[in-house]
C-alpha cells in the first residue's frame, strides 16, 4: 500500500466500503470485487486499497482472530507482525516486572502494542515508515490516550520517561509487499544500538530464532518461542525483564496452552543409544535453546545419533516439548525398496520427517508412488554413515 491508497482508504467512504465488503479470500473473489467496485464508480486507488485490505483481513485472522476484522495492514507488516497470543506473553513480562510505560520501537502495524495496551500499559510507539505508522495509529486508536504513535526512527526516540523498551529491529528490506531478509549487521536499528539501550533500560528485543548465538550478550535471558509447531522468534530480555538465574528458555505455545523450559545454561546432551520403541522430535524452540538434554532426561531417552535432534526411548512417556512416534519397524532407505515395502503395507498417506539427510520430502513422496488406505509417519535420518527409514505412528495425533 502506498500513501495515495492509504489516503483514499482513511476516509469515511473508504472505511465504510471496506467494512461492508464480504470476505475476499481467493483470486476469483478479488476479480469479482474489483469489477463490482469499479462499476460502482469508485476510484482505482480506493478500489485497490479496499480490496487489498479485505484480503489481508482474511489472512490476518490466523494471527489476530476477530480483531483482524477492524484492523488495517500492509502485506509485509502482517507477515512480520507478532500474533496476538504471543504479544500477550510479551506484555505479561512488562506488567509482572512492574513497568507501566513501554516504548515500542519499530512497532510495525501495532501487534505488540495491542498486547501492551490490552494489559493496561501506557505505550509510546514509533515506526520509521510513514504508512506503517499511520496504520498502527488506526489499529491502536481504540485505546485512546493509553497509546501514542509517532512517525520517527527508534534512534530519535526520547526514552527518558519510559520504564521499559520493546525493540523489534527491521530484519528485512524496506517495503510494504515484497521484502528480503538482511544480515544482522544491516538491521535497523543496529544490534549494537539495541544492546546499548538494553544495557541501561529494561528491554525485550525481538529477533529471528536463527540468530547466531555468538551474538547474544552474556547478561541477557534468551528465550526462544514456538507457536503451534513453528519456531517464530528469539526474544532477548534485559534488566528487570530477565528472570533471575535464567539464561536459556524455550517457550512452547499451542492454542491457549503454555509450557516452558528454563536453564542457567545450555543443557548437556544425553549419550546416543540404539533405537527404542519410541522416537521423539524436540520442539524447535527446545532445539534452538539447546535444552534437548533436559527433555531427554525427563523422558528417560537418549540421542538417536550424535548431532541429530531425534531422541529415542523404550518408555511410553510423552512431553509437550516433543512430538512422539511409536516405532513400527525399520525399512530399507533406498527409494525403490521403500516404495515396495510401503505399498505392501497399504500405506497411501505418509507424513515424512527428516533430520540429517539431504531429502526434499515433497519430491521423495512423489518418488515413492504411494497407494493404499493406511497412514503412517516416515522418519528419515542417519546414524553415523548409515541412513535409516523408520516407519512409525504419531502418539496423540
- What digits encode the pLDDT tens for the residues 76-103? 899 989 999 999 999 999 999 999 999 9
Express as a percent the part of the chain with pLDDT over 70. Answer: 97
269 occurs within a structural domain: no
330/354 same-domain check: yes
66/134 same-domain check: no
Select from 263, 297, 316 the last residue of a domain. 263
Question: What is the value of pTM for the model shown?
Answer: 0.90
Question: Which triple of cell numbers denotes residue 104?
Answer: 515500542
Select from 17, 42, 73 the last residue of a domain. 73
pLDDT bracket for residue 178 (50, 70, 90): low
183/248 same-domain check: yes
Which pLDDT value is given to residue 158? 95
Which pLDDT value is given to residue 6? 87
pLDDT tens, 253-295? 998 899 999 999 999 999 999 999 999 999 999 999 999 999 9
60 vs 176: CA distance, rounded Å: 15
pLDDT tens, 41-79? 998 889 999 999 999 999 999 999 999 999 999 998 999
Select from 54, 73, 92 the last residue of a domain. 73
pLDDT bracket for residue 185 (50, 70, 90): confident
67/88 same-domain check: no
292/255 same-domain check: no
356 occurs within a structural domain: yes
What is the rounded average pLDDT of the residues 24-28?
Answer: 90
299/358 same-domain check: yes
271 occurs within a structural domain: no
Which pLDDT value is given to residue 4? 81
Which pLDDT value is given to residue 5? 82
167 occurs within a structural domain: yes
248/314 same-domain check: no
Write a three-state SS string for the chain. CCHHHHHHHCCHHHHHHHHHCCCCCCHHHHHHHHHHHHHCCCCHHHHHHHHHHHHHHHHHHHHHHHHHHHCCCCHHHHHHCCCHHHHHHHHHHHHHCCCCEEEEECCCCCHHHHHHHHCCCEEEEEECCHHHHHHHHHHHHHHHHHEEEEECCCCCCCCCCCCEEEECCECECCCCCCCCECCHHHCECCHHHHHHHHHHCCEEEEECCCCCHHHCCCCCEEEEEEECCEEEEEEEECHHHCCCCCCEEEEEEECCEEEEEEECCCCCCCCECCCCCEEEEECHHHHHHCCHHHHHHHHCCEEEECCEEEEEECCCCCCCCEEEEEEEEEECCCHHHHHHHHHHCCEEEEEEEECCCCCCHHHHHHHHCCCCCEEEEEEEEEECCEEEEEEEEECCC
44/113 same-domain check: no
pLDDT at 340 exceeding the cut of 80? yes
385 occurs within a structural domain: yes
Query: What rounded mean pLDDT belongs to the chain?
Result: 93
355 vs 378: CA distance, rounded Å: 11
What is the rounded average pLDDT of the residues 291-300?
Answer: 96
316/198 same-domain check: no
189 occurs within a structural domain: yes
334 occurs within a structural domain: yes
314/212 same-domain check: no
130/90 same-domain check: yes
268 occurs within a structural domain: no
Number of domains in the chain: 3
Q: What is the CATH number of the domain that holds 154?
A: 3.40.50.150
307/245 same-domain check: no
What is the rounded average pLDDT of the residues 232-256?
Answer: 96
Tell me which residue range forms the domain holding 30: 3-73
Residue with the bigger pLDDT between 384 and 278: it is 278
Amino acid at each position: 500500500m502506498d500513501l495515495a491508497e492509504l489516503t483514499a482508504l482513511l476516509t469515511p467512504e473508504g472505511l465504510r466500503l471496506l467494512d461492508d465488503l464480504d470476505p475476499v479470500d481467493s483470486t476469483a473473489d478479488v476479480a469479482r470485487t474489483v469489477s463490482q467496485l469499479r462499476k460502482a464508480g469508485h476510484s482505482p486507488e480506493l478500489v485497490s486499497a479496499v480490496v487489498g485490505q479485505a484480503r489481508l483481513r482474511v489472512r490476518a485472522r490466523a494471527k489476530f482472530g476477530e480483531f483482524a476484522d477492524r484492523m488495517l495492514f500492509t502485506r509485509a507488516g502482517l507477515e512480520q507482525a507478532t500474533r496476538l497470543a504471543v504479544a500477550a506473553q510479551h506484555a505479561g513480562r512488562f506488567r509482572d516486572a512492574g513497568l507501566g510505560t513501554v516504548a515500542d520501537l519499530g512497532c510495525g502495524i501495532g501487534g505488540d502494542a495491542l498486547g501492551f495496551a490490552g494489559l493496561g500499559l501506557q505505550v509510546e510507539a514509533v515506526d520509521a515508515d510513514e504508512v506503517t505508522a499511520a496504520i498502527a495509529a488506526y489499529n491502536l486508536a481504540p485505546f485512546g490516550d493509553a497509546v501514542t504513535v509517532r512517525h520517527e526512527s527508534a534512534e530519535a526516540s526520547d526514552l527518558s520517561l519510559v520504564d521499559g523498551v520493546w525493540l523489534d529491529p527491521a530484519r528485512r528490506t524496506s517495503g510494504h509487499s515484497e521484502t528480503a531478509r538482511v544480515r544482522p549487521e544491516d538491521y535497523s536499528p543496529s544490534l549494537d544500538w539495541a544492546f546499548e539501550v538494553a544495557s541501561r533500560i529494561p528491554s525485550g528485543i525481538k529477533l529471528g530464532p536463527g540468530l547466531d548465538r555468538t551474538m547474544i550478550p552474556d547478561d541477557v535471558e534468551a528465550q526462544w518461542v514456538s507457536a503451534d509447531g513453528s519456531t517464530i522468534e528469539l526474544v532477548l530480555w534485559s534488566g528487570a525483564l530477565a528472570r533471575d538465574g535464567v539464561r536459556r528458555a524455550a517457550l512452547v505455545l499451542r492454542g491457549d496452552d503454555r509450557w516452558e523450559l528454563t536453564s542457567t545454561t545450555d543443557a548437556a546432551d544425553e549419550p546416543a543409544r540404539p533405537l527404542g520403541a519410541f522416537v521423539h522430535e524436540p520442539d524447535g524452540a527446545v532445539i534452538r535453546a539447546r535444552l534437548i538434554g533436559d527433555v531427554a532426561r525427563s523422558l528417560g531417552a537418549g540421542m538417536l545419533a550424535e548431532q541429530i535432534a531425534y531422541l529415542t526411548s523404550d518408555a511410553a512417556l510423552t512431553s509437550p516439548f516433543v512430538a512422539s512416534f511409536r516405532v513400527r519397524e525399520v525399512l530399507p532407505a533406498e527409494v525403490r525398496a521403500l516404495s515396495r515395502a510401503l505399498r505392501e503395507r497399504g500405506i497411501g498417506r505418509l507424513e515424512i520427517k527428516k533430520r540429517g539427510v539431504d531429502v526434499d520430502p515433497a519430491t521423495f513422496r512423489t518418488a515413492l508412488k504411494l497407494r493404499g488406505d493406511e497412514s503412517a509417519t516416515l522418519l528419515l535420518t542417519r546414524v553415523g554413515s548409515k541412513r535409516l527409514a523408520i516407519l512409525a505412528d504419531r502418539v496423540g495425533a
